[in-house]
C-alpha cells in the first residue's frame, strides 16, 4: 500500500503504499456494505503471503519500470504491521519494515540501508493499514470515497473504488488513488497511486494471495550475513 532504488527519499514509498477520480452513481448502501465487509475481513487479518508486481510509470518520458517478488506480511499482537519483500526481478534485493525501522538489503553489493521513520509514524501506520488488513472504517475516516464499479483483476472479480485524501497535507503528496477490492475475501488486490505530476502513477498488484497462514516472526526478519556494510542515508 515501488521502485526504491530510484526514489529520492523513503517518504515517497509510504505516500505511495496509499488512487482516482472516476465516478459512477452507485448507491451509498452498496458502499456501506463494501466497507462493512472490509471491516470483517480486517478484524480477522493475521498474515499474508503473495506475489507482488510493482509498476512505476513516468508520463513525461513515457517510461515504465517493473519490479516483481514475494511479500510476507504479519500483524502482531499490538496490531502492528510488519513485512518483508524479496524482490527477484529485475534484480534481487530485500525490503523490510519492522515498527518504524526500514531496511533495504542489497546482497549484490553487500549493503544494508537503514531508515528511521519514527517522526512519520502516523503516516507509516496508515500506509501499511491501507494495503494490508485494510479496514473500511479507516477508509471512511481518512478519504473521500466513490464507488466506480466491478472489474476483473488478475482473474478475480473486484470492486474498484476511488479515494481522495481528506488531509490537505497528504493530498499535496498523493492527490488521488484507486483500489480494487476482491469480492472473494474483501481485501485489496491492486492499488494505483497517482503522483503530484500529472500522468505519473504507481500500480501495485498482488497475486497468488494466501491470507492467515501460520507464520513465524522469524520469517519477517532479514537474514543478513556478517560483514555486510550498514549505511544510514538520513544522517
On whether residue 3 sits in a domain, the answer given is no
The proportion of the chain whose per-residue pLDDT surpasses 70, expressed as a percent, equals: 83
pTM score, whole prediction:
0.82
In a domain, 167, yes or no: yes
| 172 in a structural domain | yes
CATH classification at residue 111: 2.50.20.10
Residue 1 lies in a domain: no
pLDDT computed for residue 87 by the predictor:
96
Cβ atoms of 188 and 180 within 8 Å: the answer is yes
Is 187 domain-assigned?
A: yes
Domain span at residue 82 reads: 8-231
Instruction: Kindly indicate the confidence band of residue 125, based on its pLDDT and cuts at 50, 70 and 90.
Output: low
Place of cell 502513477: 201
- Within-domain flag for 2: no
Give the gyration radius of the chain's Cα atoms.
17
* Of 17-21, 71-75, 116-120, 161-165, minimum mean pLDDT range: 17-21
Residues 164-209 have pLDDT tens digits of: 989 887 788 789 999 999 999 999 999 998 988 989 999 999 999 9
In three-state secondary structure terms, 11 is: helix
pLDDT at 81 over 80: yes
pLDDT for res 39:
96
Asked whether residue 44 carries a pLDDT value surpassing 80, the answer given is: yes
**Mean pLDDT, all residues of the chain:** 84
In the chain the beta strands, taken as DSSP E runs, fall at 47-58, 63-75, 81-89, 93-98, 101-106, 111-116, 143-153, 156-165, 176-182, 188-194, 201-211, 229-231
Residue 38 lies in a domain: yes
Looking at the predicted structure, is the pLDDT value of residue 47 above 80? Answer: yes
**Do the domain assignments include residue 176?**
yes
Percentage of residues in the chain having pLDDT higher than 90: 58
- Under the banding of pLDDT at 50, 70 and 90, the label for residue 6 is very low
Total domains in the chain come to: 1
Give 22's pLDDT tier (boundaries 50, 70, 90).
Answer: very low
What phi and psi, each to the nearest 5 degrees, are found at residue 42?
A: -65, -40
Amino acid at each position: 500500500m515501488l521502485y526504491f532504488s530510484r526514489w529520492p527519499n523513503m517518504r515517497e514509498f509510504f505516500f505511495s503504499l496509499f488512487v482516482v477520480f472516476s465516478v459512477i452513481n452507485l448507491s451509498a448502501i452498496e458502499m456501506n456494505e463494501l466497507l462493512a465487509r472490509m471491516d470483517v475481513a480486517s478484524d480477522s487479518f493475521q498474515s499474508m503471503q503473495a506475489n507482488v508486481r510493482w509498476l512505476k510509470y513516468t508520463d513525461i518520458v513515457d517510461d515504465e519500470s517493473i519490479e516483481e517478488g514475494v511479500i510476507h506480511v504479519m500483524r502482531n499482537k499490538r496490531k502492528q504491521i510488519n513485512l518483508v519483500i524479496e524482490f527477484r526481478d529485475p534484480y534481487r534485493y530485500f525490503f523490510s519494515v519492522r515498527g518504524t525501522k526500514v531496511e533495504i538489503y542489497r546482497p549484490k553489493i553487500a549493503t544494508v540501508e537503514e531508515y528511521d521513520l519514527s517522526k512519520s509514524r502516523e503516516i507509516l501506520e496508515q500506509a501499511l493499514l491501507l494495503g494490508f488488513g485494510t479496514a473500511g472504517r479507516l477508509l471512511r475516516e481518512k478519504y473521500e470515497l466513490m464507488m466506480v464499479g466491478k472489474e476483473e483483476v488478475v482473474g478475480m472479480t473486484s470492486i474498484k473504488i476511488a479515494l481522495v485524501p481528506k488531509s490537505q497535507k497528504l493530498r499535496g503528496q498523493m492527490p488521488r488513488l484507486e483500489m480494487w477490492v476482491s469480492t472473494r475475501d474483501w481485501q485489496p488486490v491492486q492499488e494505483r497511486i497517482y503522483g503530484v505530476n500529472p500522468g505519473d502513477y504507481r500500480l501495485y498488484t498482488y497475486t497468488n494471495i494466501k491470507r492467515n497462514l501460520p507464520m513465524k516472526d522469524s520469517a519477517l526478519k532479514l537474514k543478513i550475513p556478517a560483514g555486510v556494510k550498514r549505511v544510514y542515508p538520513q544522517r
